[in-house]
Structure formats: C-alpha cells, structure tokens
Chains A and B, each alone.
Chain A
C-alpha cells in the first residue's frame, strides 16, 4: 500500500523528475503501433492522420493532455452543438419545455381546447393536431427532440471531441451510475444528469461523482429515494427542531406538521437507492454489507429528495421550510420533516441521533473511501480499459492507488496506462468494441461529416446498445460476450455494409479523399489501401489474403472502372418527430466496388476489436 502510494506520487511528480515512458517497447510495439492502440482504448479510434499527430507530440504528452481533459473544443464540434438548444437549458427549463404528453393533454383540457371526455376516438388525427397546436402555442417541444439532442451530442462529442478520454470516461461513469430514459419519471432530467453530475467529475475524484449523482434529480427519481421518507411513527429532524421552540410556537408548528403529514399519501422508507448505492456504485455485491446496512443507509438518506421547482411544481413556504432545516442545492432538496432523525449504525459505525443532512454526507465519505469500493471500482475500470478478465496484480495496484489517492481518477488512470498489463498481448485486441464504439470509430476512420440522426441512433440500438436506455441500474454489462451474439453480430456486419453504401442517414464521406484523392488502380490495390487506412498499424495481411480471391473476379474488376458512373443513393428517410417511428426498410442500393470493399472491412472481425 505504501509502495503503491509512492508509485502514485512518483507518477504525479513525473513532469518534475525524469519522465516515465509508456512501456510499449517492452511489449514489442513500435511507437506508431502504440499510438494506434492508445487511440483505440483511450479514444474512439484514430481519425486519418491522428496517429501522426500523437507520435509528433509524444505519446506520453498526449496521454497527459487527455488526462487533463482541458483541450479547447474544435470548431467542427462547437458549431454542431450550437444547433442543439436543449443542451443549454436548466433542469427546470427542460421540464417546462418538454412536458410529457399527458400533461399537455390535461392543460389542453383546462384551456378548453379539447373536452375531458374526448379521447380522439372519432378523429384521431384532428384530435392530435389540436393538442399539438395547443402545445406549440405554449412554446412546448416534443420529447423526441430532447432525446435526439441528448443522443446527438453524445455521438458528436465522441466523433469530434478533442478531449477523447473525457468522452470515454463519461460513457464509463454514466454507465456505472446508470439512469434510464425508459423511466418516465427521470427521463427529462437525464441531459442535466450527464452534463452537470457526471461530465464535470469524470477525471476528478470518485467522491465528487458519488455526491453529484446521489443528489441529482435523475438518480433520486430513478432509484426512488425522492419518495423515501421516515416511517409514519419515526421521529424526524423537524420534530427535533420543533422541540426547541417556545411552547406556543411549538404547538402551532406541531399542528401544521401533523396536518401536512396526514395530507401525504404515502410515508415510508424506500430501500432501492440505498441498496444500489452499495451494491452497484461503491462496495460491490460482495463488498461486506448486510441487509441491515441497506436498511440503515436507507434511513440515513430519508429526506433526500428533489427540489420540486425542477420538476415543475411550486415549493410552498420555502423560507419557512429553510428555517426549520430544509436545504436546497440546485435540483436537490433535503426535507427535515421526512428525515428519520434517530441514531443509525452503518457498517459497524454509529451515527448518533440528530445527524440530519450531514449524516448522509458522512456515509458517502465512508463508502467512497472503503477498501471494497477501491477494489470494485478499479476492477470495473480495468475491465473496461484493459481486458475482460484483468490480471489480479494489476487490479491490486490500481485499488491501492485508488485508496492512497482518495479516489483520484486521474492517478488511477495514469497508473493503468503506464502498467505493462495494459500493453500485454492478451490485452491488445482482446476487447470487442461496444456498438457505440463501433459506430463512432467507423465514423472517425472514414473522416465522416456527421449530423446525428435517428437513423444512427437506431443502428446503435439494433446492435444492442440503446443509448441512455438500459433499464436496469447495473448499466450495460461490460464484456465482449455481452456485445457479441448471433443476432447482434449480424447487425454489426450490416451496419458496416450500410454505412459504406451511404445508407446511414446523416453521414457523408468521401472515400477517394480518404486516399488523398487517388482512385485505386485495381481491386487488389483498393483492398490493400483501404484495409491500411481503416485498420492503421494493424496486421491486415490475412484480411487482404482472404479477400483478394473474392474481389479478384474479373467482372468485379470491370466495375471498378465503371465506378464513376455509380451514384450513391440519396437517403430518403425523414426524421419524423411525432408518433411511433417507422423504421425504414434497410435495403442496399447499388454501390461502387470500393464501397463494397470498405463495407466488408468495417464489418470484419478485425474492425470489431479494440
């Protein structure tokens, strides 16, 4: 442990003392191969010319730059993001602008636009039109637009972002602290969740992430802590507060509190968040807690709820509530009247009665610094960045560094990349890209001009990764076998073929430009040129050898000569904003032979590997 701490210090002081080298030479890699590998693992794959850039600036410098995550963003990214107004809205504005359909309907009824009995049975179209018109007059936008912008920004940042490691880490941490669009209660808060709770902390401290997610409305709603209150007969922080009042005021306050309590439909502790907090976010399922600990942590977190203003409701008597101990912090609200104020015991430590909000913070501190958390979280990082079953020695070192640096994510990641295990033959190319990684790395390899569309999103969904929509709090399982099964593998191949034939809506690229404007002289050359361009610094000999006889068909070669006449089909799908989406029939039109070669390379097993 001391040893690991020293190593951590040495690494962080690296810029002062002698610069450590990434141990790729020991693993038998050239500098260019190492750069390509770094771009596959810490970024979303190389764009044309990117390996040269990384080599030029020095691999170690590039890694450090990515760990800092402070590169100014490229104009090609910022220009695209500016077209997405939802990205800048506050949580309250998001709720206001994208109301769920039933709410718009209710408001339309209240405004007398439609009658309460009317359900559109007679004329569904006219009925819907009335509601849409009403919504537009109020400045509302369809929820689909919000989802499109949420997913769109993720794709664009991954394709064009200069802080690539930050993007990969955002994907990782969102998945670790998963919330889901499938949950209607929290779906409007997810954009803010990623932007405000996850993104600023991805290379910061684990405790920072834990606190930000714990208090964000999306998580509070998704795992039900928002509705978790002290049991009906339990003593609350408000009761404590009222005891200190002069007798007359006390009697009044108690009467008010009693009335309020009666008006509430349900009271009681909900254990969902407390359990997942320990099982999935910190200690891990075998991290050494009991069902009793779950119950106790749930009591600690009673009263941790959502600021009603964020979800479009007024907060009555805010000033009075603050006087008796209510705390507002952005979308978070601590309610003293819902917080169980009696003593608790968590993992053997006693929290005396009356701890209030601070008690919850202390429990988060305790969980964040627990050795089981260090082990569990670094294990997940090693699985994600190194290999599906990471070597125990590496895991041990990462966990020690996590402990010694109090969950400094940069320090852990730095150590990971400088570990020989990261560069081992078993780790390299062992991992299979997730569908998102596959899609984005294809777009980057093609140097594509991307305007995110529903079509791209649907492809990623069909390959098995519905973005922001994994229903369970576990997040998508990480591991090659969860991304590769019979149906999903075929869809991956079809994605490559469709993309190359320009049948993915919103994606443009120029294969000739990719090759410096040169047309390959023959099909063999096409094969060699494009395997090298799309799979840089990889052994593509076997790909070429296997495919050469198939593309060497004389009739096929003839087609190369006629390539100029072949026109790519224009996409025809329109991005419908309302109603259930009709997916376009995916049928490929005639394509140039070079595109065929590219499609096969993108669908090849080599391109699936990271």
Chain B
C-alpha cells in the first residue's frame, strides 16, 4: 500500500503530464490536508428488512422471553454473555472480542418516533433522518458529508451499491458504485495498435468543452480513473490476515477498506446487508437469522482487522428500520415491530456496554403490548456519532426538526 502522501504526489505528477490544465483544486487541497491528518471516515451499514434486535442481543435473564418465544427464545447457554443480562447471538461471535476490548458499543431499544411498520416508510425516515416527513430532499449522510465543509474528492462520499441510497441523496456529490473495478472508461479494442484510445480522445474533448460543468467534472473523472487503478483494486490483499466473507457485504467492506487506505479522501461510506425480514422460521443458533448475523459479524470483524492502524480514523455503525415483535408468530418467525438495536465500532467509542433501556418484557411494558418500545431516538445516536467522529455540528442542519439530546457513547 502506498502512503497517502506518496500516492498523491504520484497522482499529481501523472496529472501534469496528461492534462492540459493545472492540477484540480481538490487534489491540491487534499495533498495539503494529507500532510496534517488522515481523514475521518464514517462507515454505515443499513440492514434492510428490520433486524430482530431481541435475537441479536438477547436479554437472556428475562423470564418473559421463553413465554413470548416458546420456539425461538435464545437461552443463556445459546448466547455469548456480555454483561450477565444481555447476550450476543452466536452469529455475531466475531464481534464479541471487540465488545470485550471496549471498541464496540450496542444501543438497544433504538428506533424511530414514527410508529410506521412499513419497511419503505421506516427506511425512508431513517435515511432522511426526518421521521414522519417524506418530502425531505436529502439523506442524512449527504448532509453530514456536506457539513464537514471539505472540498470534495470524487470519493468523499461513496455507496457500494448499484443505485444511490436515500441516505446519500442530496447536494453533496456522492458516488454509487457496486464494484470499484468497473470504474473507468471502457476501451474499444479494434484489434491491437490500430485502436483509438476512447479514454484519451474523450479526455481531450472534455478538457476543451466550453461547458464549465462538463469540463470540471470531466477533469475530475479522468483524474479519479487514474487514481483508482483497476489492477490495484483487483489485486488488493487485505492486511493482518483478514478474511472477508464471499458475499456482497464482505466485498463491499473490502472495497471500502481499500478506499480508506488508498488515501482517496473517503469520509462517508455506505453499504447494506439484506435479508433481515424474518417472518418465517428464523431459527435460533442456526437458520436464517444465524446466517445473516454471521455474514454481518464476520464482514465487520474482517474489515476491522484489515484496517489495522487505520482504525483510529474510522467509525462503523449499523442501522435497521425497526425491530420485530417480541412474541414469535405462527410460522416460527417474528413480524414488524418497533425498537431494535445497533452496533457502533471505533477506537474512540466507549464500548463494552449495552446502552439504552430495555424493560422487562412483561406485556404491559411493551409498545402496543407487543413490541420492544423505542426508548432511544435513532437521531440521538446518529448525531452523536456524526458530531464526535466527523466533527460536524449536530444541530438542525443535520437533523431538521430534531432538538432531542445526544446519547453520549464516544469520547
């Protein structure tokens, strides 16, 4: 791996020889910034489908659990004991050491003040950061990236998804790319030396257009392509013996790690994990939930190992649109509920703790007598992480209409 400085220097030299104009502004600024600090990066993983928080982090000492979930309750022996009351699902086994080393915190009973049980609406509200309001133009992560106030690089805000997620809708230029190796201009082989380089031809055209936006963006694009060498992406080997799971999530996190280490200025990264809508046969120590948990847990753990010394500059947070019913349904699964839990990982996280309130699961303590009540507004957590890690103001600009408190969980 290159050091960030060396890389930028090499990139800048390459630029001079290849373009007619000067070095793009962002590159100069980034090069200057590189001498002082590595950027802070926030990585968010959206768990689509609504994770069963009670299964992920089970209050195993609560006797109500077995009554509510005769077939799928996790007992003390099934889980990894975190604090004598809560236990981590065995699928998340690889996250347990991070909890023990106080880098991983859990917030339980987190959710939205809006009571919708629609995936679509609840995801929308969580991603815009404005529960109950659908018309919000931007996503909260886009606002967070914008509030950092840095000149953007092409990789400042990246979603490793095929379409732009709602979280990154907005004015700040964000990039959605499902595979970094496909980033670039295709060449049109006409058979050997005879071919025109489409990339070079187009670069010349964009350099000379009279339309400023096309000219500027064109320049940035061709620079980005040079920075992000396909060969390097393909041949990237994770450090410290990290092994990423083969699925989409693992590969996305691996590419995010690559972007972080390449010094391309990534500040906000987004990816997602699918399949949490466990209405049927969700299983216990094995089965559907276990498989999802294992992929998520192992991907995060591999990512963290891979980062090594970069850990100090990265925070990772999971989120899911709502939780699931406290009681199991007739199909051995759970239905749409309210509160769930999330993981926050980072060296400045005050980890090793389960934050938030989970009441004893007696029916009268449940929301609508069936769901885990939302005791922590998700914005209390998101704004804490954004303000402490990305150093952005956590006020109304980040979460319009929110004036609630922040949950202190980072130094």
- The answer to whether A605 and B218 touch across the interface, beta carbons within 8 angstroms, is yes
Chain B residue with the shortest CB-CB distance to A543: B205
Q: Are A279 and B135 in contact, with the CB atoms below 8 A?
A: yes
Q: Knowing A474-B137, A487-B175, A553-B196 touch, does A494 contact B201 (C-beta < 8 A)?
A: no
Task: Fill in one digit per residue for B351-376: 1 if any A CB lies within 8 Å of its CB, else 0.
Answer: 00000000000000000000000000
Determine which residue in A184, A489, A595 has the highest number of CB atoms from chain B within 10 A of its CB, and name it.
A489
Task: Assess A609 versus B201: contact at CB under 8 Å? Given A275-B135, A472-B136.
Answer: no
Q: Which of B133, B185, B190 lies in contact with A494, CB distance below 8 A?
A: B185
Instruction: Verify B176–A487 contact, CB threshold 8 A.
Output: yes
Tell me the residues in window 465-509 of chain A with beta carbons closer than 8 Å to chain B beta carbons: 466, 469, 471-474, 477, 480-481, 484-487, 489-490, 493-494, 497-498, 500-501
* Complex interface: chain B residues within 8 A of A424 (CB): none
**A493→B154 contact, CB < 8 A:** no
Min CB gap A297→B, angstroms: 14
- Establish whether residues B215 and A605, one from each chain, have CB atoms under 8 Å apart when the complex forms: yes
- Pair B185/A484 contact, Cβ less than 8 Å: no
Given contacts A497-B186, A609-B211, contact A593 B205 (CB under 8 A): no
- Of the listed stretches B161-169, B342-350, B389-397, chain A binds B161-169
Q: Select from chain B the residue with minimum beta-carbon distance to A275.
A: B135
How many A-B pairs have beta carbons closer than 8 Å: the answer is 184
* A121 and B213 within 8 A (CB): no
Please indicate the chain B residues that have their CB under 8 angstroms from the CB of A591 in the complex: 188-190
Q: Could you say which residues of chain A place their CB within 8 Å of the CB of B288?
A: 119, 121
B285 at the interface (CB under 8 A from A): no
Q: A497-B186, A588-B189 are in contact. Are A485 and B211 (CB under 8 A)?
A: no
Establish whether residues B332 and A550, one from each chain, have CB atoms under 8 Å apart when the complex forms: no
| Inter-subunit contact B198/A603 (CB<8 Å) | yes
Q: Which residue, A271, A586, A603, has most C-beta atoms of chain B within 10 A? A: A603
On whether the beta carbons of A542 and B195 are closer than 8 Å, the reply is: no
A606 at the interface (CB under 8 A from B): yes
Residues in A with CB closer than 8 Å to B193 are 553, 555
Q: How far is the CA of A262 from the CA of B135 in the complex (A)?
A: 32
A residues less than 8 Å from B194 (CB atoms)? 553, 555-556, 558-559, 593
The residues of B that contact A461 with a CB separation of less than 8 Å are 162-163
In the complex, the chain B residue whose C-beta lies closest to that of A121 is: B281
Report whether B191 and A590 are in contact in the complex, using a CB–CB cutoff of 8 Å. yes
Query: In the complex, are the beta carbons of A546 and B195 less than 8 A apart?
Result: no
Tell whether A587 is near chain B: CB-to-CB under 8 Å. Answer: yes
* Number of chain B interface residues as a range: 35 or more
Contact call A587/B196, Cβ cutoff below 8 A? no
Q: Is A307 in contact with chain B by the CB < 8 A criterion?
A: no
Does A600 reach chain B (CB closer than 8 Å)?
yes
Instruction: Identify the closest chain A residue to B165 (Cβ).
Output: A471
User: In whole angstroms, what is the CA distance A596 to B174 when docked?
Assistant: 30
Stretch at the interface among B4-12, B51-59, B102-110, B220-228: B220-228
Across the interface, A593 reaches (CB within 8 A) one of B136, B187, B190, namely B190
Determine which of A471, A542, A590 lies in contact with B208 in the assembled complex, contact meaning CB atoms within 8 Å: A542
> Is A117 an interface residue, CB under 8 A from the partner?
yes
User: Is B184's CB under 8 angstroms from A490's CB?
Assistant: yes
**B-side contacts of A587, CB under 8 Å:** 186
A-B contact pairs, 18 of them (CB 8 A): A119-B280, A121-B281, A472-B128, A472-B137, A473-B134, A480-B213, A486-B217, A486-B224, A497-B198, A500-B188, A543-B205, A546-B208, A550-B200, A556-B195, A559-B195, A590-B191, A596-B188, A609-B211
Q: A485-B174, A559-B190, A604-B205 are in contact. List 10 more A-B contacts (CB 8 A).
A: A117-B331, A184-B120, A471-B166, A481-B213, A485-B217, A486-B217, A490-B221, A497-B186, A555-B192, A559-B191
Interchain residue pairs A-B with the least CB separation, the first 5: A605-B209, A486-B154, A555-B194, A559-B194, A487-B175
A-to-B contact residues, CB < 8 Å: 116-117, 119, 121, 182-185, 223-224, 271-272, 275-276, 279-280, 429-430, 432, 461-462, 464, 466, 469, 471-474, 477, 480-481, 484-487, 489-490, 493-494, 497-498, 500-501, 542-543, 546-547, 550-551, 553, 555-556, 558-559, 566, 583, 586-593, 595-597, 599-600, 603-606, 608-609
